[in-house]
Structures are given as C-alpha cells and as structure tokens.
C-alpha cells in the first residue's frame, strides 16, 4: 500500500473573519508515515486536519494528495477516513451498520460488505458487539467501533482527531500501543492531531509543532525534543517543561545567579539570551549555582525538585536514590551540551 | 411544627382549588354530554343522574350529524400536517446546519411572519380565494393554514436539528455520503422524536384554528369547531348535543396533548427562546 | 515556493465548496419560503393595497381608490378608539393575571414532593383545547343563568343571578376570566420548568448567607426567572392582541361593543358589515399596534 497517501500542504491560510487561524502552513507527509500535528488548543492543528479532510475550505493555498490538487474537492471524493474526537458514531445504527455505512456509500454489494465488516471488527476486537447500538457500548468500545469504521474502507489517508482524549488514563496507554501496531500492519498514512506531547512523541514518525497558526518545527520527535528551535517549542515539549531562564551571554558562556555556565556556542561578544535546561539535565554537583530546595514532588521512581537559585526558580529531576530534603542547600550545574540558547527577542534557537 | 403543618394545608388547599378550576369545566362538559336536556337544565345542577349516550348517538348518526364535520377537521388537520412537514423538515435542516449568506435574515423572516395578525391575512385571502373559487375547499383552508403552521414547525424542528453534533454530517461526508443521503440516512433518523412532536403540535394547531375556518368554510368543508354553532341559536340551544360535540372536538387534542406531555413546554415556547436571543 | 501559491486568487478555492453548500441550502429552503411568501408577505402587501380602496361587498358599485381616506376615517372613528382601549384592557388584564397566577402556582407546586405529576397533566388540558370550544363551554355550561355553574355559585353566595354576558362590565370580566382560565397553565408550565432548571446550590449558598425566604425570592429567584417571565409576557401579549375565537364564541364582541377588541372590530367590519377596505385599514392598524407593543417589550427584554 506504499506510494499511496502522500500529502502536501502549500501555504495554507485560513481566515475566520479578521482572525488568521492558519498563517501560511506548508508541510509534506510521506506515504505510510505516522505524522502528528501537535500543539496547544487554538494553535491551528485541528483546522489543518479539517482542511485536509475537506470539512473546511482554506482561504488561500493548495492541498495535494498523491500529487493531485484536491483543494476544491468535496470531502466525500477525497477517499479519506477519519476518527473523530467524539467518535461520531451514528446512534441510530448498530455497530455493524456503522462499519458497513462507508462501504454502502461506495456502492459495494452485500456479499463484499459482510466479510469486510467482519474483518475490520476483528482487527479491533469488537466482533462480538456487532449487533449492539453505540449507546450500549463503553467508551473504549465506541472508540474501537470508530476505528473499525475508519479502516474498513481502506482509504488512502487515515485521520485521527485526538482519538484518545475521551478515554481514561490506563485505557489510553493501552490503546496508544494498539493504534501504532494497527497503523503499522495496515501500512496506511496516518495524520494524528493531539495536544498531548507525550502521545505525539511515542506514536509519531514525524511531527509538526503548531503555535498560533504557524508550524514552529517539523521533525522526528526525538530531534524536536533534542533541538527545539524556539522558546515556545522548548516550553511545550517535555514534562516537566524545560527551565527557561533569561540570562546574559558572554564569550561562550552564560551567567545565572552570579555563576558562569559554559555553553556549546562559541561566539565572541555579548547579548541577552534565554537559557533552556531540561529538568533531567540539571545535575547536583559541587561548585555550581547555589540553590535551596523549596519543594520536593516525589513521583516514585524519580523526584522533581523546585529549587530557588537566588530568586530564580529552577526545576530539576533526580532519580530516587538521592532525594535531598526540603530546605537543603546545594549547588547545581549542567553540561555545555545540555544547555539550549535562545535569542531573547526573536525567540529562535541560537 | 404546627406552623409548618398549617402552611402545608394552605398550600394544598390553594393548589386543589386551581386543579379543580382547571378540570371542572371540562369534566362538567363531559357530564352534560351524558345527560338529557332536562337534566342539563336542572336547577340546582345535577351531579348525579342516569347517564345516557343519546346525545352522542344523535350528533354522530342523527339527522344533523356532525360526522362529516369531524371528517372535515381530520382532512384539514392531516393535510396541513403532511404538507407542512414536507416543507418544514428540509427548511429547518438548512437553517440549523448549512452555511449560506442571509441565513440570519432567513431565520428572522420566519419569526417575523408570525407578527402579522391573522385577520390581516384572511382579508386579502378571502378576496383571492373567492376570485379563484377556493372558498369552501380543502386546498383553500390548508393553504392559509401554512401561514402559521410553517413558521412554527420550522422553528421547533430547528431546535431539534441543532441538538445533533456537527460531526455526524462530517463523518457521513467522509464516509462518502452525498448531502442528500446524509440528511436522509444520518440526520433525519436522529430527529425522529422531534419530528413526531412537531407533527403533534401542527395537527393540534390546525385542529383548533377558528378564524380562518369561520371565514373560509361553507357547506362542503366545515370543521367541527365551526359546525358547533349549529347547536346554539337565538331560538333554541340543544344543550346535551352541544356538550357531546364539544367533547368530540376536545377528544383528539386532549389525547395528543397527553401523548406529547413531556415536550409541551418546548412546543409552546418555540421561537420565543430564540427570538431576540443568541441569533 | 511561496510565490507560486500567492499567484492563486484569494478565496477561489473555498468558493467552490461553499457554493455547493449554498445551492443545497437554497433547494431545501425554496418550498417553505415560497409558501411563506405566498401566505404571509404577499397578503400583507395586498392588505395594504386594499386599505387604500373603498371596497364594499354590499355596494360594489361604489368601489374605488381612495388613498388614505380609510385611515382618516379611522382616526375619527370612536368605535376604533374604543376597540383599541378594549384591546389594551383585555391584553393587560389577561397577561398580568396569567403571569401572576402562573408564577404563584409554580412557586407553590415547586416544593411539592408528591402530586406534581398530576398538576403537569391537568395543566395541559386547557392549553391544548380549541379556544372556540373553550368559549362555547363557558358561554353555556359555566355562565348561563341559573344552571350555569358560575351563576349557581353566585346565587348560593348571595350575589343573586347575574347576566354574565349581557352586562357590559360583567361581559368584559367574563372574557378576561375565560382567557386567563385557558392560558394560566401555559405561564405555570413555562415558569415551573425554568424554576426547576435553577441550580439548587445557589439556594443553599443563599441560605448559608442567611437570606430569608422572601429575600431569596426577591434577590435570587425573581432575577433568574426574569428572562422566562419576559418571554411569557411577550408571547401572551401577542396572542391576546389577536384573540378571536375566545371572544367571538362567547360574546361576539357584545353586548354592543363592550368586548370588541380591535382584532374583532376588523373582522366584523370586513366580514359582517362587508366593508373590506375599511376593515383592511383596521387590520393594518392592528399590525402597527402589535409592532409597537412588541417593540417596547423587546426593548424591555434587552434592558439589563
């Protein structure tokens, strides 16, 4: 099935009156890829998905699927399947009828529909529920039914709009793994909208990070995590979020709370910067920035320390073995490679 | 404790008086419809008497049978309901769900038409229908009844269509359904309840209409609300028969009202909630 | 790359999709809107037209365009002014009574644990009935001298038998009572429904704030109920202004013109006296009055 489901967005703009929901979004998705659209609510990720699905029309720009311009095509002619956040199961139809509906609309014969529905139901393990109505299903079962309805048609694109957000935490983790396996086994291109960075990190082959109607960064999750290219992406990705400290850069180092940290940027001169250090990269070692432990959040295997470094708050993640007590004075530092530097005015990575 | 008991009794007494006031005229009509004329006219009024079905036999199968008028009422009400629904369901769907320019105005227009006093509609239509020979015809009455049944039905249905999540249509489009198929297979089955309620109210309003019926009815088409007057005149009133006819005229609407009990507030206030509100 | 896309005319893409939706909407709306145009807007224009004619079905030879003469006659017509006054009294009295009684009853029933269901069913009965049937029942079995129940009660109360529909004042009282009887359940049901939808916890909070029952009613219930009350007032006013069957079947507007509201006058002028042109002018006047009053009520609704 490879070679099918290639997507290209070209300078898509979406205006709601005066408000620009999307300000010129461009990206490409390769066939068979699991692509996540990640961002906070209102960032434009859902709008992007809806434009791809044909549910909303862009104000400007073009959308291509498999090299073909489908910007003005009706949703029904795009050969796209979608799982909605609310699942959008047809309440008056049984599970079987729900899954069969897209095939019926494609004018398939009954002889073709029955085995196809059976197979789709089997893939998501709901064969025993086919005669029920959606109202009689649990949340997890409804979600599977929506999945089955989406995969039954073997569409060239598979869209998922926060499909896990209505499940409870445990079920969400299980379903996440199954979803990934399902996509692999089908080999179909998947576009996945989520505001949960952890979901995007674990599921996606590549992801696009949306902020305020623009794509901030596109890349493999690990790369985005390792090298966020703006303050906003850095603050959004990772939990707990990256420490962002305004500081002064001078000749290859930054000064925080009166203490100098060496950075990997070797550039002569002085400028205002924002220093980013992930909580996990903060090390407790002598001879660093003096700090006092204000609060300890023990998570079991790790602990998060809220540190006060002479008025600057910094969070650090330490492993369970050596958790200092609240009120302890200690000193922290970080390796040059773990220090991210951002321009204070452009907010871009240096 | 005693004060509370007194309050409770007072509340009970007041509410009981109201209940009695509302039920009594109806119950009394039913009782009178089972009496002979002399029993109806008895003083003091008779609460206990030997019931007879004579009045019903007379008004249904007697010489001045009301049966054709009941049939008239049914034909008018059912005709109005069918035509109204055929037009109102698609229109309400468009108003509730589709995007098009002038939608706000269209919704307002539907409401504003109800401002026009019925007497202002019947005067011109009397002249027009007289010219084309539609006085005393079913098509004439049903046409005019659309003037009040359509806005009502459209607004009531809009409120039901609006309850359906937009994802329903979007999912159907993505599943490859056309707009028409989506409306027919996905949306309408989900508003069956709302459509049933609307049918009840449109029928009820058509059955109860009086002004248009009085002006437009004749010897062929004369609904029961107008025909009632045959039993009351300056010279003579046929008391028991009048009671029987009243009960027959009340029967269908009371049954429908109780059937639609849960939705009656919604049905009675439709449009007003929306009127100057968020639209 | 960016330059390439900028060359595409703005909005051209969405337009195709939007146009399909518009066409579908137009097809769905067309039958209903054509019917509404034909049965409401067209007659309105026609009515305004006939109101500028002398049109007398009894004397067709005298028919002709008279311009605004019907309106000039109307302004000098005592019967018009009296019918307007009767309209205002009838509307004001019935609306105030309905809302006051309906609200009082809703508040009483609200706290009833048992029997509320009975109330709900019985309240439905009057409102689903045809006003014509209601009028007929009251005219005969309730208000007829001696064996009519109301008169029977009046006699037993020592007031003596009254001519309920023959005396101008009593006739007015009677039609007001009949209308109130039929439609108080409407106000009751609507207000009970919105009372039931008020959140319980604000009352608990108010109780903790030591508000008395009367204070809770004045400061919490009434303001929260205001939209529902205003809505009931607007709806009932519109209906009362154009009430027809409930008066026509009881008094026919009489005795004389004692219960002749403007709506009834327009009807009698057109269809009893067959003076269609002047009747049209009266109907237009009624429309103007309706619009003015609803304008005031809607302004009231928007205020605060």
C13: nearest CA in chain A?
A72
Instruction: Provide the residue count of chain B.
Output: 279
pLDDT in tens, chain B (279 residues): 788 888 888 888 888 888 899 999 999 999 989 988 888 887 778 788 888 888 898 888 888 788 999 999 999 999 999 999 999 999 999 999 998 888 899 989 998 888 889 999 999 999 999 999 999 999 999 999 999 999 999 999 998 999 899 999 999 999 999 999 999 999 999 999 899 999 999 999 999 999 999 999 988 899 999 998 888 876 677 888 889 999 999 999 999 988 888 887 777 776 554 433 322
Q: What is the pLDDT of residue A95?
A: 95
Residue C176, chain B, CB below 8 Å: the answer is no
Which CATH number is A259's domain given? Answer: 2.40.50.140
Q: How far is C29 from chain A (nearest CA, A)?
A: 22
Alpha-carbon span A134 to A140, nearest angstrom: 11
Phi, psi of C297 (to 5 degrees): -65, -40
Among C2, C11, C16, beta carbon nearest to A59:
C11
Count structural domains, chain A: 2
**Residue C167 CB contacts under 8 Å (≥ 6 apart), including other chains:** C255
- C36–B150 CB contact, under 8 Å: yes
- C17–A54 CB contact, under 8 Å: yes
- CB A166 within 8 Å of CB A85: yes
In three-state secondary structure terms, C241 is helix
- C136–B246 CB contact, under 8 Å: yes
Average model confidence (pLDDT) across chain C:
87
Q: Looking at the structure, do residues A259 and A132 belong to the same domain, yes or no?
A: no
Question: Which is higher by pLDDT, B70 or A4?
Answer: B70
- CB A66 within 8 Å of CB A5: yes
Contacts of C16 in chain A (CB under 8 A): 57, 72
Interval A239-297: pLDDT, tens = 888 999 999 898 888 888 888 888 888 888 888 899 999 998 998 888 888 899 999 98
Among B174, B185, B186, beta carbon nearest to A81:
B174
- CB C74 within 8 Å of CB C278: yes
Residue B222, domain extent: 65-269
* Residue C13 pLDDT level (bands cut at 50, 70, 90): low
Q: What is the pLDDT of residue B239?
A: 85
Q: How far is C30 from chain A (nearest CA, A)?
A: 24
Alpha-carbon span A193 to A181, nearest angstrom: 18
Which CATH number is A73's domain given? Answer: 3.40.50.300
Q: Of A204, A236, A268, which marks where a domain is finished?
A: A236
Residue A55, chain C, CB below 8 Å: the answer is no
Which CATH number is B145's domain given? Answer: 1.10.3720.10
Interval B174-233: pLDDT, tens = 999 999 999 999 999 999 989 999 999 999 999 999 999 999 998 889 999 999 888 887
Q: What is the ipTM of this complex?
A: 0.90
Q: Looking at the structure, do residues A29 and A67 belong to the same domain, yes or no?
A: yes
Q: Looking at the structure, do residues A216 and A285 belong to the same domain, yes or no?
A: no
Against chain C, the chains showing at least 3 CB pairs within 8 Å are A, B
- A53–B170 CB contact, under 8 Å: yes
Q: What is the pLDDT of residue C100?
A: 95
Strands (E), C129-265: none
Residue A349 lies in a domain: no
B171: nearest CA in chain A?
A88
- CB A97 within 8 Å of CB B190: no
Contacts of B46 in chain C (CB under 8 A): none
- CB B147 within 8 Å of CB C40: yes
Q: A259-268, C15-24, C282-291 — which is least confidently predicted?
A: C15-24
Q: Of A200, A220, A236, which marks where a domain is finished?
A: A236
A72: nearest CA in chain C?
C13
Contacts of B189 in chain A (CB under 8 A): 92
Question: Which is higher by pLDDT, A320 or A50?
Answer: A50
Cβ count near B252 (within 10 Å): 18
Q: What is the pLDDT of residue C84?
A: 96
Question: Which site among C1, C17, C23 would you substitute to test the A interface, given the most A Cβ atoms closer than 10 Å to its Cβ?
Answer: C17
Q: How far is C104 from chain B (nearest CA, A)?
A: 10
Q: Looking at the structure, do residues A141 and A204 belong to the same domain, yes or no?
A: yes
Count structural domains, chain B: 1
Residue B189, chain A, CB below 8 Å: the answer is yes
Question: Which site among C3, C13, C20, C21 would you substitute to test the A interface, given the most A Cβ atoms closer than 10 Å to its Cβ?
Answer: C13
Q: What is the pLDDT of residue A3?
A: 60
Q: Looking at the structure, do residues A163 and A303 belong to the same domain, yes or no?
A: no
Alpha helices in chain B (DSSP H): 2-32, 37-40, 54-61, 67-97, 103-112, 118-131, 138-161, 167-174, 179-181, 192-208, 211-216, 224-227, 239-259, 264-269, 272-275
Interval A171-204: pLDDT, tens = 899 899 899 999 999 999 999 999 999 999 999 9
Q: How far is C16 from chain A (nearest CA, A)?
A: 6
pLDDT at C9 over 80: no
Q: How far is B184 from chain A (nearest CA, A)?
A: 12
- B190–A82 CB contact, under 8 Å: no
Q: Looking at the structure, do residues A255 and A177 belong to the same domain, yes or no?
A: no
**What does the pLDDT average to over C128-135?**
93
**Residue B248 CB contacts under 8 Å (≥ 6 apart), including other chains:** B56, B59, B60, B66, B70, B224
Residue B278 lies in a domain: no
Contacts of A58 in chain C (CB under 8 A): 13-14
Question: Which site among C3, C4, C11, C14 would you substitute to test the A interface, given the most A Cβ atoms closer than 10 Å to its Cβ?
Answer: C14
Q: Looking at the structure, do residues A75 and A127 belong to the same domain, yes or no?
A: yes
Contacts of C6 in chain A (CB under 8 A): 11, 60
Q: How far is C2 from chain B (nearest CA, A)?
A: 30
Edge to edge, what strands does the sheet with A19-29 contain?
A19-29, A7-16, A60-65, A68-69
Contacts of B86 in chain C (CB under 8 A): 31
Among C29, C112, C115, beta carbon nearest to B94:
C29
Contacts of A11 in chain C (CB under 8 A): 1-2, 5-6
Residue B4 lies in a domain: no
Interval A68-80: pLDDT, tens = 999 888 888 899 9
Q: How far is A61 from chain C (nearest CA, A)?
A: 6
Q: How far is B266 from chain C (nearest CA, A)?
A: 9
Residue A256 lies in a domain: yes
Among A88, A92, A102, beta carbon nearest to B165:
A88
Residue A2 lies in a domain: no
Residue B71, chain C, CB below 8 Å: the answer is no
Among C105, C129, C141, beta carbon nearest to B18:
C105
CA angle A114, B176, A43 (to 5 degrees): 120
Residue A290, domain extent: 243-343
- C35–B150 CB contact, under 8 Å: yes
Interval C214-264: pLDDT, tens = 888 888 888 888 888 988 998 899 999 999 999 999 998 878 889 999 999
pLDDT at C1 over 60: no
Q: What is the pLDDT of residue B277?
A: 30
Against chain B, the chains showing at least 3 CB pairs within 8 Å are A, C
Q: Looking at the structure, do residues A255 and A210 belong to the same domain, yes or no?
A: no
Q: Looking at the structure, do residues A148 and A225 belong to the same domain, yes or no?
A: yes
Q: What is the pLDDT of residue B86?
A: 97
pLDDT at C12 over 60: no
Interval C44-91: pLDDT, tens = 999 999 999 988 888 888 888 888 989 999 999 999 999 999 999 999
Residue B186, chain A, CB below 8 Å: the answer is yes
Alpha-carbon span A39 to A47, nearest angstrom: 12
Question: Which site among A28, A72, A74 would you substitute to test the C interface, given the most C Cβ atoms closer than 10 Å to its Cβ?
Answer: A72
**Residue A89 CB contacts under 8 Å (≥ 6 apart), including other chains:** A98, A134, A142, A145, A146, A149
Among B24, B43, B276, beta carbon nearest to C302:
B276
Q: How far is B257 from chain A (nearest CA, A)?
A: 27
- A92–B189 CB contact, under 8 Å: yes
- A11–C5 CB contact, under 8 Å: yes
Give the CATH H-level superfamily of domain C78-302.
MetI-like (1.10.3720.10)
Strands A243-250 and A302-309: unpaired
Q: A43-57, A229-243, B221-235, C286-300 — which is least confidently predicted?
A: B221-235
Q: How far is C31 from chain A (nearest CA, A)?
A: 26
Q: What is the pLDDT of residue A91?
A: 93
Residue A339 lies in a domain: yes
Residue B37 lies in a domain: no
Residue A348 lies in a domain: no
Among C2, C11, C17, beta carbon nearest to A74:
C17
Residue C197, chain B, CB below 8 Å: the answer is no
Task: Read off the pTM.
Answer: 0.87
Q: What is the DSSP string of C35-51?
A: HHIIIIIHHHHHHHHHT
Against chain A, the chains showing at least 3 CB pairs within 8 Å are B, C
Question: Which site among B176, B177, B184 would you substitute to test the A interface, given the most A Cβ atoms closer than 10 Å to its Cβ?
Answer: B176
Q: Of A181, A216, A236, which marks where a domain is finished?
A: A236
Q: Looking at the structure, do residues A257 and A231 belong to the same domain, yes or no?
A: no
pLDDT at C5 over 50: no
Residue A350 lies in a domain: no
Q: Looking at the structure, do residues A158 and A174 belong to the same domain, yes or no?
A: yes
- CB B52 within 8 Å of CB B34: yes
Alpha helices in A15-88 (DSSP H): 45-53
Alpha helices in C138-167 (DSSP H): 149-156
Residue B6 lies in a domain: no
Q: What is the pLDDT of residue B262?
A: 80
- A60–C10 CB contact, under 8 Å: yes
Q: How far is B120 from chain C (nearest CA, A)?
A: 5
Q: Looking at the structure, do residues A328 and A229 belong to the same domain, yes or no?
A: no
């Amino acid at each position: 099935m490879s070679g099918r489901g290639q997507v290209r967005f070209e300078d898509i703009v979406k205006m709601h009156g005066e408000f620009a929901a999307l300000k010129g979004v461009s990206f490409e998705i390769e066939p068979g890829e699991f692509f996540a659209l990640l961002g906070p609510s209102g960032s434009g990720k859902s709008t992007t998905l809806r434009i791809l699905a044909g549910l909303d029309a862009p104000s400007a720009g073009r959308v291509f699927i498999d090299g073909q311009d489908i910007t003005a095509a009706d949703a029904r002619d795009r050969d796209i399947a979608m799982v909605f956040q609310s699942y959008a199961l047809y309440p008056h139809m049984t599970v079987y009828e729900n899954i069969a509906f897209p095939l019926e609309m494609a004018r398939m014969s009954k002889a073709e529909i029955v085995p196809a529905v059976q197979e789709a139901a089997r893939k998501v393990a709901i064969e025993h529920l086919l005669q029920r109505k959606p109202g009689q299903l649990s949340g997890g079962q409804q979600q599977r039914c929506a999945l089955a309805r989406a995969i039954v048609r073997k569409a060239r694109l598979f869209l998922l709009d926060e499909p896990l957000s209505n499940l409870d935490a445990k079920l969400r983790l299980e379903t996440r793994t199954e979803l990934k396996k399902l996509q692999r086994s089908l080999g179909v291109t998947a576009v996945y909208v989520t505001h949960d960075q952890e979901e995007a990190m674990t599921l996606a082959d590549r992801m696009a990070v949306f902020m305020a109607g623009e794509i901030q960064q596109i890349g493999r999750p690990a790369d985005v995590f390792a090298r966020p290219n703006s303050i906003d992406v850095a603050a959004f990705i990772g939990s707990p979020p990256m420490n962002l400290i305004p500081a002064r850069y001078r000749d290859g180092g930054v000064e925080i709370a009166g203490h100098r940290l060496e950075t990997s940027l070797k550039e002569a001169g002085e400028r205002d910067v924002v220093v980013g250090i992930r909580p996990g990269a903060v090390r407790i070692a002598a001879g660093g920035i003096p700090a006092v432990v204000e609060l300890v959040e023990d998570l079991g295997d790790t602990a998060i320390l809220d540190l006060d470094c002479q008025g600057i708050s910094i969070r650090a993640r330490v492993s369970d073995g050596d958790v200092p007590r609240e009120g302890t004075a200690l000193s922290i530092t970080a390796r040059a490679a773990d220090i991210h530097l951002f321009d204070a005015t452009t907010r871009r990575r240096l | 404790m005693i004060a509370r008991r007194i309050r409770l009794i007072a509340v009970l007494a007041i509410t009981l008086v109201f209940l009695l006031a509302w039920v009594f005229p109806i119950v009394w009509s039913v009782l009178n419809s089972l009496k002979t004329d002399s029993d109806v006219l008895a003083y003091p009024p008779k609460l206990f008497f030997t019931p007879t079905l004579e009045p019903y036999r007379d008004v249904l199968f007697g010489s001045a049978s009301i049966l054709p008028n009941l049939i008239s009422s049914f034909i008018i009400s059912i005709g109005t309901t069918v035509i109204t629904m055929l037009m109102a369901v698609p229109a309400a769907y468009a108003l509730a769900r589709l995007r098009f320019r002038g939608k706000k105005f269209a919704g307002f227009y539907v409401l504003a038409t109800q401002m026009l006093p019925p007497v202002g509609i019947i005067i011109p239509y009397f002249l027009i229908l007289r010219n084309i020979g539609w006085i005393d015809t079913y098509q004439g009455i049903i046409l005019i009844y659309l003037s009040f049944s359509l806005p009502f039905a459209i607004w009531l249905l809009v409120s039901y269509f609006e309850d359906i999540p937009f994802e329903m249509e979007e999912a159907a489009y993505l599943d490859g359904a056309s707009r028409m198929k989506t409306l027919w297979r996905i949306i309408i089955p989900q508003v069956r309840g709302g459509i049933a309620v609307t049918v009840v109210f449109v029928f009820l309003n058509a059955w109860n209409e009086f002004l248009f019926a009085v002006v437009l009815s004749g010897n062929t088409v004369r609904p029961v609300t107008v025909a009632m007057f045959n039993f009351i005149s300056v010279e003579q009133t046929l008391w028991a028969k009048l009671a029987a006819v009243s009960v027959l005229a009340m029967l269908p609407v009371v049954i429908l009202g109780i059937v639609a009990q849960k939705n009656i507030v919604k049905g009675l206030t439709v449009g007003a909630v929306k009127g100057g509100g968020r639209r | 790359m960016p330059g390439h896309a900028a060359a595409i005319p703005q909005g051209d893409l969405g337009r195709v999709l939007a146009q399909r939706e518009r066409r579908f909407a137009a097809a769905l709306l067309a039958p209903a809107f054509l019917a509404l145009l034909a049965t409401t807007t067209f007659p309105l224009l026609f009515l305004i037209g006939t109101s500028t004619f002398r049109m007398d079905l009894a004397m067709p030879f005298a028919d002709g365009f008279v311009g605004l003469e019907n309106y000039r006659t109307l302004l000098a017509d005592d019967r018009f002014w009296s019918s307007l006054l009767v309209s205002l009294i009838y509307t004001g009295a019935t609306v105030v009574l309905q809302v006051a009684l309906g609200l009082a009853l809703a508040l009483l029933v609200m706290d009833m644990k048992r029997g509320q269901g009975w109330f709900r069913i019985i309240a439905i009965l009057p409102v689903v009935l045809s006003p014509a049937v209601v009028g007929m029942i009251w005219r005969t079995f309730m208000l007829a001298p001696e064996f009519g129940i109301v008169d029977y009660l009046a006699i037993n109360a020592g007031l003596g038998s009254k001519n309920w529909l023959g005396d101008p004042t009593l006739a007015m009282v009677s039609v007001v009572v009949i209308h109130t009887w039929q439609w108080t359940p409407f106000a009751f049901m609507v207000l009970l429904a919105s009372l039931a939808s008020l959140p319980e916890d604000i009352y608990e909070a108010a109780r903790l704030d030591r508000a008395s029952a009367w204070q809770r009613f004045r400061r919490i219930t009434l303001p929260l109920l205001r939209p529902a009350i205003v809505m009931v007032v607007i709806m009932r006013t519109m209906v009362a202004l154009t009430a027809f069957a409930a008066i026509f079947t009881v008094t026919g507007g009489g005795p004389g013109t004692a219960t002749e509201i403007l709506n009834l006058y327009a009807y009698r002028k057109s269809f009893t006296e067959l003076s269609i042109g002047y009747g049209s002018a009266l109907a237009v006047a009624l429309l103007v009055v309706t619009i003015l009053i609803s304008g005031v009520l809607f302004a009231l609704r928007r205020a605060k």
